[in-house]
């Protein structure tokens, strides 16, 4: 297995990143809109066609004391929908602290001039990148 796609699930946006097991690297890609009627599946279809991943990763938002919350159940349902739709292995990845780390990285990019405030939506894709990096470190 070399290519994986990782997702930072949110009720409004889903961050997307790609990872490579051979190079042990991850890259933020984009965000996909999500709504009460579900995500934009056509964009997921296009991503999977382009990257042809061997596995999918979904961040699992647990509380600090390892408890599930409503967003955890929504992320699990999203993971189940991915598995059913694409028939690929789907791995849940503990995503605690990824949002804080993504915000820190984004702030650093702004300080260095490589990102602007208008790119703030990309924080979700950076969170997905961190999810992929975390999985690659333990895979």
How would you label 58-93 residue by residue, b for 16+ Cβ within 10 Å and e otherwise? bbbbbeeeeeeeeebeebbebbebbeeeeeeebebb
**Which superfamily is assigned to 3-138 in CATH?**
YqgF/RNase H-like domain (3.30.420.140)
Q: Is the pLDDT of residue 100 over 90?
A: no
For residue 121, what pLDDT is reported?
61
3-state secondary structure of 131: helix
State the average pLDDT over residues 81-101.
88
Q: Which residue has the higher pLDDT, 32 or 98?
A: 32
Segment 115-133, tens digit of pLDDT: 665 555 677 888 999 999 9
How large is the average pLDDT for residues 108-113?
73
User: pLDDT above 90 covers what percent of the chain?
Assistant: 62
Q: Where are the domains of the chain?
A: 3-138
């Amino acid at each position: 297995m070399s290519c994986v796609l990782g997702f930072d699930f949110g009720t409004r946006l889903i961050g997307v990143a790609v990872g490579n097991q051979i190079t042990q690297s991850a890259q933020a890609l984009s965000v996909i809109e999500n709504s009460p009627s579900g995500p934009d599946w056509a964009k997921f279809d296009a991503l999977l066609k382009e990257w042809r991943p061997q596995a999918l990763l979904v961040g699992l938002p647990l509380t600090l004391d390892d408890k599930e919350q409503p967003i955890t159940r929504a992320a699990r349902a999203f993971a189940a929908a991915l598995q059913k739709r694409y028939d690929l292995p789907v791995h849940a990845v503990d995503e605690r602290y990824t949002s804080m780390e993504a915000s820190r990285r984004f702030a650093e990019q702004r300080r260095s001039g490589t990102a602007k405030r208008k790119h703030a939506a990309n924080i979700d894709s950076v969170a997905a990148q961190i999810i992929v990096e975390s999985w690659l470190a333990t895979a």
